[in-house]
Amino acid sequence: MISNRGKTIPKSPIRKLIPYADEAKARGVHVYHLNIGQPDVKTPDLIFGPIRDFKQEVLKYGPSQGILMLRKAIANYLNEDYSLTIEPDDVFISTGGSEAVLFLMLATLNPGDEILVPEPFYANYNSIATIGDVNIVPITTSVEDGFHLPTRDKIESLITDKTKAILICTPNNPTGTVLTKNEKEMVVKIVEDNNLWLFSDEVYREFVFDGGQCSSFLEFHNARDRIVVADSISKRFSCCGARIGFIVTKNKELYETVLKFGMARLCPPTIEQYGATAGFEHRHEFLSDMIKEYEHRRNVVYEEIQKIDGVFTSKPEGAFYTVIKLPVEDSEEFVRWMLTDFEKDGKTTMLAPAAGFYKTPGKGKDEARIAYVLKEDDLRDAMNILKEGLHAFKSKN
């Protein structure tokens, strides 16, 4: 009595090992969570302000496309920081970034259609594609190449009659890779020459390190009818539980279609939209400090990785993740063992096995994702525990 999609939709690879972590905690073990992109960075208080001060007597339905004040604030932010010409009516507020991606897939792909996505990719894309009954065709990248894109020929060889879109996430979850200007130009040419949509997941837009330039695919004005941004305030404002995302598109036909899907769920949460508005208006007061903190953590985690024998990664360029190659056969087994059988001074470290971030069977089995979302001391301790755990795991085998 369960549907096929109900059987095949994957459990979140990030969340499915949580019961083992819960058991470890029940035994009194402290678990460092490097497995999930839940930062310990304080939510800026100015975002809580309008939430605490919400004074309307009735907590009403808002507009299906989101409140105008927030859509204005987002348009201003994009226009000021990225020299764009976005209107409030080009912005659709979604219930989290995941709904943004879902609505884009539903609005443009028929069941059985294909969307190209560089792998490894954010695992929930798989679940969202299952809901929409669309097929993700992976563009395989590797840790040895710093997870940068293959050649145009290689990518175009994957395009079929059923391909309708390419989905890019840069700065990338789970790899931390930031696409170069040349790579972005190549992707735009591919979607133009093959009449595809380009969906750009820019949740980590500002999370670029080493002085690199932040940018949006919307800067390619000439292709703006086919380039659509999916975004979220979860990471930028460190408020994952707010469930406020958004879509930006100049394509009116797409906007109107997305709006119909939006009407089916009435509206995104009302109160958090006021907090999000304050976040965009006051972003200069906290965002650069937040990015500096993540860059520092990136340096810490990269330094610590160098100290572990047999572990390889490319230096992450942005976001707050990295995918590392481990000297084990099955990283899921190792991650589980760290929770069930290992502890050091009453503490252990949890990673996310990387196989769930790949579509190609067998890929990523010896890899894991680290989300460096903890402060320096915790991060160093967690990485040291990982080092010792890995040594113990290999000794026992």
Q: How many residues bind a second copy (CB under 8 A)?
A: 74
Q: Which CB, 148 or 224, lies closer to a second copy?
A: 224
Q: Is the separation of the CB atoms in 60 and 274 below 8 Å?
A: no
Dig out the tokens for 111 from the structure.
Answer: 């069941």
Which of positions 345-384 make contact with a second copy (CB under 8 A)? none
Contacting a second copy within 224-283 (CB under 8 A): 226, 238-243, 253-254, 257, 260-261, 263-272
The smaller minimum CB distance to a second copy, of residues 58 and 377, is found at 58
Nearer to a second copy, 214 or 259 (CB): 259
Q: CB of residue 276 vs a second copy: minimum separation in angstroms?
A: 11
45-64 positions binding a second copy, by CB under 8 A: 47-48, 51-52, 54, 57-62, 64
Distance CA 385, CA 397 (A): 18
- Mark residues 109-138: x for contact with a second copy by CB under 8 A, - for none: xxx-x----------x--xx-xx-x-----
Residue 298 CA to its chain's centroid (Å): 17
Task: Pick between residue 196 and residue 354 the one whose CB is nearest to a second copy.
Answer: 196
Largest CA distance in the chain: 64
Least separation, in Å, of the C-beta of 203 and a second copy? 12
Least separation, in Å, of the C-beta of 359 and a second copy? Answer: 16
- Shortest Å, Cβ 162 to a second copy: 12
In the region spanning residues 141 to 200, those forming contacts with a second copy, defined by CB under 8 A, are: 164, 195, 197
Does 329 sit near a second copy (CB under 8 A)? no
Residue 284 near a second copy by CB under 8 A: no
* 23 contributes a contact to a second copy by CB under 8 A: no
